[in-house]
């Protein structure tokens, strides 16, 4: 079972670890990993594995194999050297990319504070993020952007806590998303708390303080159906 180090500390950029298995498709399973796997609208991490001889294996992405949220496979880029189970490596994140994803992911939590409507989808990118809402009326974009930047600049602390699946089931109001399922099924669920303004289950990676997000710019508000609006946010 791989230890998900990013879940306890999303700021670990490099980590000594061990190759525990190579999948039939050539995917790399590690004893413990700092590579977040694609899920919840956030793309999986990229980076490199440093071998004992100083050479590198480039990691093009990270996934949950067959949707198994308890496992992570690092996917090597084309033409990389074949690692062996039992081999010690040092994992290095593509930190610039991941940090942008952390900032944008946390920014999307702020969007759900400014727009407290049912969520039907979300996507986190390095340069922009988007959330789809059940929201019949088009809100005032200037006002949303102002409130978003106020919330980010207010330097709210971002922290994690854990509850059981049963506790989440007893508090359905915590779930803002209609069809992105919270990360249940492992007995406990992680909640992300932003100051006193937001608390919701989330398995992604976040910054420690909203001040790290920087300035945000509201992109398009697109109509995606009779009562659905797609709100896009970019770095300012």
Nearer to Zn ion, 93 or 124 (CB): 124
Residue whose tokens read 């989330």 = 202
Minimum distance between the CB of residue 227 and Zn ion, rounded to whole angstroms? Answer: 24
Q: How many residues does the chain have?
A: 236
Nearer to Zn ion, 48 or 98 (CB): 98
Pairing state between β 32-33 and 3-4: parallel
Nearer to Zn ion, 19 or 231 (CB): 231
Contact by Cβ (8 Å): 131, 119: yes
Nearer to Zn ion, 43 or 204 (CB): 204
Count of residues that bind Zn ion according to CB under 5 A: 2
**Contacts of residue 193, Cβ cutoff 8 Å, sequence gap at least 6:** 158, 159, 160, 161, 199
Minimum distance between the CB of residue 172 and Zn ion, rounded to whole angstroms? Answer: 18
Judged by CB under 5 A, the chain residues 170 through 209 that form the site for Zn ion are 202, 204
Residue 85 C-beta-side C-alpha neighbours within 13 Å: 8
Angle between the N-to-C axes of helices 95-114 and 141-153, in degrees from 0 to 180, rounded to the nearest 10: 120
Minimum distance between the CB of residue 109 and Zn ion, rounded to whole angstroms? Answer: 6
Minimum distance between the CB of residue 192 and Zn ion, rounded to whole angstroms? Answer: 5
* Residues near Zn ion (CB under 5 A): 202, 204
């Amino acid at each position: 079972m791989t230890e998900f180090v990013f879940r306890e500390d999303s700021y670990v950029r490099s980590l000594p670890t061990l190759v525990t298995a190579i999948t039939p498709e050539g995917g790399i399973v590690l004893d413990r990993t700092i590579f977040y796997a694609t899920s919840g609208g956030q793309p999986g991490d990229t980076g490199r594995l440093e071998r004992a001889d100083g050479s590198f294996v480039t990691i093009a992405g990270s996934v949950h194999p067959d949707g198994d949220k308890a496992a992570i496979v690092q996917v090597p880029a084309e033409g990389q050297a074949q690692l062996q189970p039992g081999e010690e490596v040092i994992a290095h994140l593509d930190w610039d990319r991941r940090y942008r994803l952390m900032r944008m992911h946390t920014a999307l939590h702020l969007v759900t504070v400014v727009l407290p409507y049912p969520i039907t989808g979300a996507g986190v990118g390095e340069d922009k993020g988007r959330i789809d809402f059940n929201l019949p009326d088009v809100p005032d974009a200037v006002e949303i952007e102002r409130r978003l930047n106020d919330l980010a600049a207010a330097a709210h602390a971002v922290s994690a806590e854990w509850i059981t699946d049963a506790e989440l089931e007893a508090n359905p109001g915590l779930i803002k998303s209609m069809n992105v399922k919270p990360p249940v099924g492992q007995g406990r669920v992680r909640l992300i708390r932003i100051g006193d303004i937001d608390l919701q289950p989330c398995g992604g990676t976040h910054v420690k303080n909203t001040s790290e997000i920087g300035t945000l710019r509201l992109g398009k508000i697109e109509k995606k159906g009779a009562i659905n609006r797609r709100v896009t946010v970019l770095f300012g």
